[in-house]
Amino acid sequence: MPVSDAVERPDQPWSRQRLRSTNARLLLDRLRSAGAASRAQLARETGLSKPTVSSALAALEEAGLVHEVGTQSPERGRTAVLYAPDPSAGYALGIDVGRSWLRVAVANLDGEVVARADVRNRARSSGAMAELVVTTAHQVVANSEVAPAAVVHAVVGTPGIYDEQRRRVRYAMHLPGWGRAGLFDRMREELGVPLEVHNDANLAALGEYTYGVGAGSRLFAYILIGTGLGMGVVSEGRLFTGAHGGAGEIGFLPWPGRQKPETLEDAVSGVAVVEAARRFGMSGQQLTAKAVFDAARQGNAAAIKAVELEGERIAHTVAAAAAVLDPDLVVLGGGVGHSVDLLLRPVRENLRALTPLRPKIVPSALGEDAVLLGAVATALGTARDLVFERHSAS
């Protein structure tokens, strides 16, 4: 519970216990954000008295929330003990559900992934997919040797928008049946862990902000290009989702099709890359976007034309984002976004011709892990609060 919450809620009168809890949380937050420190250092930085710091640290240590991590020898005076948050006080579960892959990871409270699994998604129904998620998550927790009760929160990333009222995902067109009502409630029950559901592009943006090239950006857009097309927007460190969770669903933007009106997703996704390559003369029954990019690197003329066209269409996507958001950074990720070595030149050249608004464009630093790490980071934010509340209440 943030300090401001304790101050502003009149329905919870002050007590010695609440004051001690607030002081303990202040110290824990400081240790988590700035690293290990001694009692004297914490007293100087927080303004709390040394006896108060000692008492709060003792309570945190007894609760298993902090531990001694070493000593510090000053030039004068006694050697000081250094304290840091205990990363094993709780764990979080991150899940990335994609059309082709399911990725699951368990992380401690420091954000260190202690176990993970990457499994081919061969499920042919929504029920089978939900079962695969639960089974894989249980297996990853077992492999981590973490007690199941120590996993306190989970976050799953999925295409589409989660409708909290109707308890289902909307607009997950590439995962048939995934929008069935109650599916995630079933997973919550079988996992035995509180489960949040978020859009995959939004989590990729948070992952990139927390662990990748988005760190320090005032406002950046993460464009996820794969089976579908989506965008996550992070402003001043916070995700922008809009009034109904649909901000960033740029795949629905209209695109002038050859025979009928299409969407931007129809024009930019990995499927569009394959269709373009076939039109330019590339063949093969199992042709994929990756195969097209690989062929372009080998000099295949049809593949090169398809890549050039994809770069042009991504430039239109970036131009739209630049006009609406004015980001200082655009990150390209997803299966198609991973081929930025081929795409950056045509994207930048076309962007110059389209608009005077030209944000910096870079590839994702996290690659295929962006959604998973965003899920982990989001789950950790809640897990740290839950762990503190549980331990401080006991």
Q: What confidence score (pLDDT) does residue 4 get?
A: 36
Which helix (H) or strand (E) is 274 found in, with range? helix 270-279
Beta bridge partners of 191: none
Which of the four pLDDT bands, split at 50, 70 and 90, describes residue 73? confident
* Segments making up each domain of the chain, as ranges: 3-85, 90-204+371-393, 214-364
User: Residue holding tokens 């995902």?
Assistant: 169
Fold identical between 3-85 and 214-364? no
Architecture of domain 214-364: 2-Layer Sandwich (3.30)
- Inform me whether the pLDDT recorded for 8 exceeds 50: no
Beta bridge partners of 66: 85
Which of the four pLDDT bands, split at 50, 70 and 90, describes residue 5? very low
Burial of residue 244, with CB atoms counted within 10 A of its CB: 0-12 exposed, 13-18 middle, 19 or more buried = exposed
pLDDT in tens, 280-304: 999 887 899 999 999 999 999 999 9
Tokens representing 378 are: 């989001």
Q: What confidence score (pLDDT) does residue 394 get?
A: 64
The domain 3-85 is placed in CATH, from the list 1.10.10.10, 3.40.630.30, 1.10.10.60, 3.30.70.100, at 1.10.10.10
- Inform me whether the pLDDT recorded for 2 exceeds 50: no
Residues 6+ apart with CB under 8 A from 312: 346, 350
The pTM of the whole model exceeds 0.85: yes
pLDDT in tens, 149-181: 999 999 999 999 998 888 889 988 888 889 888
pLDDT in tens, 314-326: 999 999 999 999 9
User: Distance between CA 97 and CA 111 in Å, rounded?
Assistant: 20
User: Distance between CA 174 and CA 172 in Å, rounded?
Assistant: 6
Architecture of domain 90-204+371-393: 2-Layer Sandwich (3.30)
Residues 6+ apart with CB under 8 A from 120: 100, 101, 102
Residues 6+ apart with CB under 8 A from 223: 201, 229, 230, 231, 250, 314, 317, 318, 321, 330, 331, 332, 333, 334, 337
User: Distance between CA 22 and CA 46 in Å, rounded?
Assistant: 12
Beta bridge partners of 240: 233
